Amino acid sequence: MHQNTVLKTVESQPVLSLNMRNLNDLFSGFAIGDFAVLYGSNSVQSLASLLCVRAQLPPQLGGLGSNVVFIDGGNTFRLYQVARLARLHQLDPKRTLERIYLSRAFTAYQMTVLVLEKLKETVKLYNAKLAIISDIAGFFLDKDVPEYEARRVYSQVTAYLSNFAKENKIALIATYPPHKETKRNSFLQAVTCGKANVVISLNQSKYEREFILEKHPRHILGTADLPSETLTLEHFIKA
């Protein structure tokens, strides 16, 4: 008697890769369900531009084949940088920008509303698999926002985001660029990193750049040098 064996192929989830030399062995990319925080140098904003473009590539090229929702918390969206990166990826710049759905906040209150009340419907409306929240804590550091109120509301925002990516089947990435060192800043940064399941810091000195994977549920943590001599890196990382 012969028994037929049926082999079922399990489809792997797409991963949004950075496609940078020296990084692939350390960090394969952002997966659906990840809530990631990028902090450290101002290069995190350039990395956000790169991800806006690479998310639109097909999965076989390390993208998500997806539209992007971008919540701009500090007027950080870099239109010309995104257009340049689109050309480098052989994408039409105009079409690439049209697939990035941008919302700008100008106060902590507006940021809170965009996240807690608008993000879910916006992601669904535009069928986005990537959402970026740029300078997530900036407005909560405003001295006009009372300390207690800033801590309380920001904790609500990050708690909401900690489950959002998994529940809504997207990759969610928040950037936390440098701010003045204060007790409030230290608290908000710690809260953000505590709620995220992926934490990446970018350190930049005069002569070198480092990519540090500080927290990840699946990868071994570590550090990788970012080689400054490559054109790709200069365009993608340099602020």
Which of 12-26, 29-43, 51-65, 91-105 shows the lowest mean pLDDT across its residues? 12-26
- Average pLDDT of the chain, as a whole number: 89
Query: Residue 75 forms beta bridges with which residues?
Result: none
Domains of the chain listed by start with CATH number: 15-236 (3.40.50.300)
Among residues 131, 138, 154, which one has the least CA distance to residue 48? 131
Which of 161-165, 202-206, 216-220 shows the lowest mean pLDDT across its residues? 202-206
pLDDT tens track for 141-193: 999 999 999 999 999 999 999 999 999 999 999 999 999 999 999 999 999 99
Residue recorded with tokens 């052989």: 90
Q: Determine the number of helices (DSSP H) and then strands (DSSP E) in the chain.
A: 8, 10
Tokens of 151: 């801590």
Q: Which amino acid is at 238?
A: K
Tokens of 90: 């052989």
Banded model confidence at residue 4, pLDDT cuts 50, 70, 90: very low
Q: Which residue has the higher pLDDT, 118 or 236?
A: 118
What secondary structure does DSSP assign to 159-189, as a single string? HHHHHHHHHHT-EEEEEE------HHHHHHH
d(Cα 151, Cα 189) in Å, to the nearest integer?
Answer: 11
8 Å CB contact between 61 and 125: no
User: Does residue 43 register a pLDDT over 90?
Assistant: no
State the pLDDT at residue 42: 87
State the pLDDT at residue 80: 94
Question: Averaged over 14-42, what is the pLDDT?
Answer: 92
Residue recorded with tokens 């030399």: 21
Residue recorded with tokens 């990537």: 130
pLDDT tens track for 111-133: 999 999 999 999 999 999 999 99
State the pLDDT at residue 100: 98
State the pLDDT at residue 3: 43
- What sign results for the dihedral spanned by CA atoms 185, 69, 77, 118? negative
67-72/128-134 β-pairing: parallel
d(Cα 52, Cα 141) in Å, to the nearest integer?
Answer: 26
User: Does residue 215 register a pLDDT over 70?
Assistant: yes
Q: Which residue has the higher pLDDT, 107 or 25?
A: 107
- In 3-state terms the chain splits into helix, strand, coil percentages (rounded to 5) of 40, 20, 40
d(Cα 75, Cα 180) in Å, to the nearest integer?
Answer: 18
CA 57 from chain centre, in angstroms, equals: 16
Banded model confidence at residue 74, pLDDT cuts 50, 70, 90: confident
pLDDT tens track for 77-103: 999 999 999 999 999 999 999 999 999
35, 65, 168, 173 from 124: Cα distances, Å: 17, 15, 9, 17
Strand order in the sheet with 128-134: 100-104, 67-72, 128-134, 171-176, 35-40, 198-204, 209-215, 222-225
Banded model confidence at residue 230, pLDDT cuts 50, 70, 90: very low
Question: Averaged over 26-48, what is the pLDDT?
Answer: 94
